[in-house]
């Protein structure tokens, strides 16, 4: 008919296998297998170069990463204990020099010693040292009191928090503790006033 335009053929959309022949599907599957085999071969080569001898599976690697993350916090505490003892037996004025010879900056050594000293005295911090995997995040905990740390023990995701996320949680926990303390102080003040008022009415 005059004036009618020919419509363009509709573009085929959808999964790649739609309209594919068995030969096409087999070729796609073979390509995927080849790509996976290439990645596995590259990972095996990297593992050999790194001296890694464990299983190359996602589950195994994640479990081992968690293990060494825990060991990182443990290493901080164990190093901190020994630094404290070294400081105790080192003649006055020599400790800082010895710390530098060990490859520590003095502020880092001081944080490790603070972590070890506080963890040895705080049951809550000791419990959290087993849960928190991130070394920087754990060092954030050391600077806070037990009443703030108590709020963190109830969190299910604390083992997955970064240092910045944990810092935000600690800030919120501090505010909660402050609010509870103010509320308790006001309640005690009201009770004290009521007691004095009652005492004034007694004969």
Q: Which two tokens stand for residue 154?
A: 């109830």
Per-residue pLDDT 10s for the chain (203 aa) are: 455 555 555 455 545 555 667 777 888 888 888 888 888 899 899 888 888 888 888 888 878 877 776 788 888 999 999 999 999 998 888 999 999 999 989 999 999 999 999 998 888 888 888 878 778 888 888 887 777 777 666 666 666 666 677 777 777 776 776 777 677 777 777 777 767 766 666 65
| This model's pTM is above 0.75 | no
Tell me how far apart the 2 most distant CA atoms of the chain are, in Å.
Answer: 115
Question: In b/e form, how buried is each residue of 55-67, taking b as 16+ CB within 10 angstroms?
Answer: eeeeeeeeeeeee
């Amino acid at each position: 008919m005059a004036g009618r335009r020919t419509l363009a053929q509709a573009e085929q959309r959808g999964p790649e296998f739609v309209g594919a022949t068995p030969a096409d599907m087999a070729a796609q599957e073979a390509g995927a297998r080849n790509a996976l085999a290439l990645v596995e071969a590259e990972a095996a080569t990297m593992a050999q170069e790194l001296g890694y001898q464990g299983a190359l599976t996602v589950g195994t690697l994640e479990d081992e990463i968690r293990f060494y993350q825990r060991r990182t916090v443990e290493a901080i505490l164990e190093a901190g204990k020994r630094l404290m003892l070294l400081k105790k037996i080192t003649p006055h004025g020599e400790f800082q020099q010895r710390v530098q010879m060990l490859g520590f900056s003095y502020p880092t050594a001081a944080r490790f010693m603070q972590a070890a000293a506080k963890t040895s005295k705080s049951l809550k911090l000791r419990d959290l040292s087993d849960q928190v995997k991130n070394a920087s995040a754990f060092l954030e905990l050391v600077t806070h009191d037990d009443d703030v740390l108590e709020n963190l023990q109830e969190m299910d995701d604390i083992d997955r928090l970064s240092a910045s996320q944990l810092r935000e949680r600690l800030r919120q926990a501090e505010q909660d503790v402050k609010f509870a303390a103010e509320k308790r102080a006001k309640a005690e003040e009201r009770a004290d006033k009521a007691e004095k008022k009652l005492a004034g009415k007694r004969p």
